[in-house]
Amino acid sequence: EPEVTQTPSHQVTQMGQEVILRCVPISNHLYFYWYRQILGQKVEFLVSFYNNEISEKSEIFDDQFSVERPDGSNFTLKIRSTKLEDSAMYFCASGILQGSYYEQYFGPGTRLTVT
Amino acid sequence: LAKTTQPISMDSYEGQEVNITCSHNNIATNDYITWYQQFPSQGPRFIIQGYKTKVTNEVASLFIPADRKSSTLSLPRVSLSDTAVYYCLVGGMGGATNKLIFGTGTLLAVQP
């Protein structure tokens, strides 16, 4: 079964550093997302990406965040200057319409720890 | 997006059927009902989706009454490995975003 993959599984960085989280969505999917989950809290939507552009972003997704699909297979989330409160599990997802229903597939996540 | 309400937690025993009910009084005409499962330190996993009546797949059944203001996820004969958080989500589909808005979910604890 095809799956979404994410690298690295765990990233430790110092406050103020830039990080890039990488995702390889399922190949025939058209919709791409980033979500995050702070430990013990809800899964939160960050951004959706469709047709090579951001289609929607949440309040969390401020100017420190950016997304790219540089080569038609990878989908990246960049945090320019990390803050302690960016520590969370970051999930990439890709989605497709499956006939009469819509399904999003989530990756295993990248645990980001900002020290 | 419609707000959902579901129990914070439920307990069950192996082999039992578990029914988790979700309320979504403000569901819109074009909204679908979707359930996801999440194990600790893993991404959510799609379980089932429906619009009305009953939907069944190899994992679960989803019951939706005619007014669609609630839905019930039914897990037959649960095992220890079904211990997870179960999320009920309501929203439209087919648009350019299709973002998922997660609530706090229901923590199902299955005991031997």
- For the cut 80, the answer to whether the pLDDT of residue A56 exceeds it is yes
Query: What does the pLDDT look like over B62-100, one tens digit per residue?
Result: 999 999 999 999 999 999 999 999 999 988 665 556 788
Q: Does A102 touch chain B (CB under 8 A)?
A: yes
- C-alpha torsion angle, residues B56, B61, B62, B65 (rounded to 10): 90
Closest partner CB to A43 (pick from B32, B44, B50): B44
pLDDT score for B7: 97
Question: Where are the extended beta strands (E) located within chain B?
Answer: 9-13, 18-23, 32-38, 45-50, 53-56, 61-64, 70-75, 84-91, 106-111
pLDDT score for A103: 81
Chain B hits for A35, Cβ within 8 Å: 100
Say whether A104 and B93 touch across the interface (CB within 8 A): no
CB of A103 closer than 8 Å to CB of B49? yes
C-alpha B17, offset from chain centre: 15
> Which among A46, A42, A45 has a CA at the least distance from the CA of B104?
A42
How big is the CA angle at A29 (ends A108 and B55), to the nearest 5 degrees?
Answer: 80
Q: Does A68 touch chain B (CB under 8 A)?
A: no
